[in-house]
Structures are given as C-alpha cells and as structure tokens.
Chain A
Amino acid sequence: MTQPSWWHRFAVRGVFWRQVLRFAILNVPPWLEPIVMASWSLFFLMWGTARRGVMRNLAVIKPGSLAIVNFFRCYRLFWNYAWTIADNVRFKEARTIPDWEFTGWKFFQEMQERDGGAILLTAHMGSYDLGAHLFAETSSRRIVMVRAPEADPETRAFEQDRAAEGVRIEFNTRSTDLAIDLLDVIREGNIVAIQGDRVTGEIGFLPATVFGKPTRVPAGPFALALAARVPIYPVFVVRLGRRRYRLMTARPIELVRSRDRDDDFRRAVEQWVEELEHVIRDRWSQWFTFEPYWPELAA
C-alpha cells in the first residue's frame, strides 16, 4: 500500500483540520465561539468541490432558485455544519451536551420500549453522532451505528482514538459479515442506526425518486428489516440553534413480507423518501451532502 503524501493531512478531509477543530474546542472561550465559527465557515466556503455540490443539490431542492441566493444558502449550510461538528467534538472532549427537543416522542418511546430490536434510519443531517450519544445515555438498549469510514487513513485513526464511549461504530465496508453481525444485534433487542439517504462506496442500493429525480438509496436497512422482521424508525437530528437540537421521530416503516419482494422494498422506500423529502425541504441548510446527490447532476 502506498503511503499518502505529507500534504494529504492538509487536504480538506485531512487530519489537520480535525486537529484544528479540537484545538479550538479546547481553547476558545464560549462567548467568542460565534466569531470563530463565522470566520472558519467563510474559509471553508473556498472548498470549491463541496460548494458546487451543495449548490447543485440546492437547485433541485429549491427549483427556480438563483445561483447567487444558493451561494449564500451554501454559507448557511457550512455554518450549520461547523457548529454541528464542533458540538460533537465538545461533547467528546468536555461532555457538554446541548438542549434537546423531541417531536414524535410517542414513536421514539415505542422504539425504546418495544420487544425486540429496531432499525433507526436517518440521514446526513444535523448531528447524527450527537443523537446516537444521547440515545446511548438515555436508553437501556445498545446502539450500533453503521457509517462510511473517513476517506483519509490518518483522519480515520484520529476519530477512532477519540470515539466516545457507549456507542459502537461499524463501517459499511465489510457488507457480508456486517449484515450477519447486525442481524444478531437486532435479535438481541438492540438498535442499529444507519444513514439511509445516500449510497457510499460499493454497497447494495435500491432505486428511488427524490424531489422528482431518480437516485439510489442504500438497500441494507430495508433488507435487514425484512430479515429481522423489525420496523424501521425514521429519525432525524436537526440543529435549531446554538447548543440546541431537535430529535424528530416519524411513523415507523413496517416491511411486510409478501410474494413480491421488490414491491415490499418499493413501498418501504417510498415511505422513507416521503419523510426524507419533508425534512430536507424544511431543513435544507442541514443536509450535509457535499457531492451532487443525483447521478444526473454528477454527470
């Protein structure tokens, strides 16, 4: 395996920026945070690939919107992203927790109290990590998060060294073994949290139509729900303001096994996409998808 070049650590996904963020969390007085956050969000707006990706996605979410308006919307998204990752590091380093509001509390309670495990399906929104930690601290059930690993090996090692306790993280790169492990986790009555809005790497997918355009969503959570015979709970963590988040739980998606497996998946994906579109439409500034989401935009 070839060693990455020394300058790789300074690339946008490199470990240097994680170290800078940790430094800031440990040294910035809280009343100066907004100034630091605004400055660095502006700095990262120079990340052209991500900015263009976000602006293309915004053009689909908000049809007819002007490019200049989407540029400022892009800043707002970067600003939210900066706060979100900072809140996550602050929790890991200082155990500082934000205020939490819950909507769909009855579904959230149902997920916690039901016999057997469940699948928590979410998106790249708000603070996925912080939400998982909240769940770990308030629930007697174990939560296993499935996610794509960091692209940069140094960044991956940095994050693994600082992973918070109480949450087990599995990477979606070893799909066959992982599916069996996750099935066991659910059968033991625990929760598996998966991000179901985008396909990363070589993982199985299902076709979907989001905001009227064809795309793909991960097949894993739906196949797992069908195999384990458990419901899928759509859960979104959105940032409401400084140190303030909302955990939104929607009506569960029940996968009923019929003779036509494709039709079972299609109905489940449609319900998931409906929830996803609803949340993204309201909270477009927190959908942290920095690449063109729809294949036709990437072409």
Chain B
Amino acid sequence: MNVIVNRSAARWLPSRHRFALAQLVAFARLRQGEPQDASGPDHLILHVDRDQSAAEAYAVAVWVFVTVAAYLAATLPMPLPLAIILAIPLASIVIHIPIVVGGPILRLILGENDHVKLVSVGTMSLLFVWSFYLSRGDSWARFVAWFFFAVLACNAIAAAILWLLRAAVQAEESRCAR
C-alpha cells in the first residue's frame, strides 16, 4: 500500500490527481504549504492513488454531465425548457452506454484494469467528436462545445507546464512523502 501517514499537506500531492490541470493546481497548493490545523484529526493515513481527489472527480463529473445534458437539450426536437428537463435523466442514461457496452467487451479483449483506461479514453473521445460536430453548427450548444475545447486546451497547457516542472514536482513530492 502506498500511504503517507500524518502529513496533511500530502492531500495536495500531484500524484493523487489524474488530470494535468488538477495536478498543476495541486502542485501550486503543495508549494504554498498548509498551516497545521490544531482541530484536525489525531492520526491521518493518506493513500497515494491518482484517482483519490474528490474535488477533481466531482468537477470532471459535473462538467461532463452538464456538457452531455446541454448537447441532448440542443438536439431534442421540442421547446427548450422541456428539452432541458428531459435531457437531465437522458444524460445520465447516455453516459452509462459506453460503460455498459464497452466495458465487458474491452475487458474480454484486454483483461482486468487496462480496459477501464480504454473505456475512459473512449468516452472522452466520443464526447470530443460530439463537441466537434456541435461546435461547427449554429445552435446555442456550440458555446458549450467551445468551452469543452477550452478546458481540453487548458489541460494540454497544464501538461506542458508540468513536463517543464517535472524535476520540481518530483522533488516536492519526495519532500512531502519523506
């Protein structure tokens, strides 16, 4: 088990985050340092796993959900308020499709663990294609699609910055984990 004991600052280890943008924000917070909280827990065990960050998972989930719901609302042939109401449960079902369809098939082909990565990349790729299609149209959903690409661009820039700072990131991680 890769764990860090009694170091609350380790919450901000970049290696506890998945996406580059979240890793960069975490790195900034880690460098900033965290004041000792006297009212904090008596003992703390933090697990180092790249999917450990709650803030990151919720932020990405909300972003993906709102994007899919907006695309569906823009596509449904009915008045917008009604389309938005219907798009919310529909978005939840649509997001399940790549998991339910792709998951078992990819698991058979690739085996355990690796298939989740491919489900993840596949889902994001489908969203990319859908966004690309809508971004070229003239419906209001193009703004949502542009925002989608803006987030992807920010993530790419963050990845480049992290690559340039990789030595500093590694040093900071080692210092915190020591």
Chain A residues with CB under 8 Å of chain B are 23-24, 26-36, 38-39, 95-106, 108, 137, 241-244, 246
The number of chain B residues with a CB under 8 A from chain A is 40
| Known contacts A26-B107, A105-B43: A32-B49 contact under CB 8 Å | no
Contact of B64 with A35 in the complex, beta carbons under 8 Å: yes
Q: Does chain A have a CB within 8 A of B138?
A: no
Contact of B51 with A35 in the complex, beta carbons under 8 Å: no
Q: State the CA gap A97–B103 with chains docked (Å).
A: 23
Q: State the CA gap A104–B112 with chains docked (Å).
A: 39
Contact of A242 with B57 in the complex, beta carbons under 8 Å: yes
Contact of A101 with B43 in the complex, beta carbons under 8 Å: yes
Q: State the CA gap A103–B123 with chains docked (Å).
A: 40
Contact of B103 with A32 in the complex, beta carbons under 8 Å: no
B119, closest chain A residue (CB): A29
A residues less than 8 Å from B40 (CB atoms) = 101
Q: Does chain A have a CB within 8 A of B115?
A: yes
B102, closest chain A residue (CB): A27
| Known contacts A27-B104, A97-B1, A105-B43: A34-B61 contact under CB 8 Å | yes
B residues less than 8 Å from A243 (CB atoms) = 47, 51-52, 54
Q: State the CA gap A242–B11 with chains docked (Å).
A: 13
Output the residue of A100, A104, A244 with the most chain B CB within 10 A. Answer: A100
B106, closest chain A residue (CB): A27
B143 CB → nearest A CB, Å: 22
A105, closest chain B residue (CB): B42
Q: Does chain A have a CB within 8 A of B44?
A: yes
A242 CB → nearest B CB, Å: 4
Q: State the CA gap A242–B52 with chains docked (Å).
A: 8
Q: Does chain A have a CB within 8 A of B166?
A: no
B115, closest chain A residue (CB): A27
Contact of A30 with B41 in the complex, beta carbons under 8 Å: no
Identify 22 residue pairs between A and B in the complex whose beta-carbon atoms are under 8 Å apart, listed by A's number: A23-B104, A27-B103, A27-B115, A27-B116, A29-B120, A31-B18, A31-B19, A31-B60, A32-B120, A32-B123, A34-B58, A36-B96, A96-B49, A98-B47, A99-B52, A100-B45, A103-B41, A104-B42, A105-B41, A106-B42, A243-B47, A246-B41
